[in-house]
Amino acid sequence: MFMCPETAIAMRWHDSERPNDGNIRHPADGEAWKDFDSMHPNFSKDPRNVRLGLSSDGFNPFRTMSISHSTWPVMLMNYNLSPWICMKPEYMTLSMIIPGPSSPGQDIDVYLQPLIAELKELWEFGIETYDAHTNQTFQMRATLMWTISDFPALAMLSG
Name the residue ranges covered by the structural domains of the chain. 5-157
d(CA 2, CA 11): 8
Question: What is the pLDDT, as a whole number, of residue 66?
Answer: 67
d(CA 108, CA 96): 12
Could you read off the pLDDT of 5-53 as tens digits, one per residue? 999 999 999 999 888 888 888 999 999 999 999 999 999 999 999 999 9
Could you read off the pLDDT of 83-109 as tens digits, one per residue? 999 889 999 999 999 888 888 888 888
Higher pLDDT, 119 or 68: 119
Question: What is the torsional sign of CA 7, 9, 10, 11?
Answer: positive
d(CA 78, CA 143): 10
